[in-house]
Amino acid sequence: MPAYRVYLVGSDGRFIKAIDLDCNDDDAAIEAAKQRVDDHDVELWQLDRHIARFFHRQRRRCDPCSRTRIVGTDLTDETRNSG
């Protein structure tokens, strides 16, 4: 089973808490990570591979320098990380 970890991100951009997830694949881990979005942004990692970042605000953000998925909590327009 792939090892996933969710990090809660503080307003200063630093990780404030790590939560281990036992999920079968990226899709299951993404769904589990979405459940952790509340008052903090959330980053999902599998070992050293960054999978996604979810923002706690209801707006979509974009990082043009990254191929990593960056989405708001509405999650309507996400793109897959091909790496």
**How do residues 22-54 score in pLDDT, each as one tens digit?**
999 999 999 999 999 988 999 999 999 999 999
Q: For residue 55, which of 45, 65, 69 has the smallest C-alpha distance?
A: 69
What percent of the chain has pLDDT above 90?
Answer: 59
The helix/strand/coil state of 64 is coil
Is 0.75 topped by the overall pTM? no
Distances (CA, A) of 8 to 47, 71, 72, 82, 83: 16, 15, 14, 24, 23
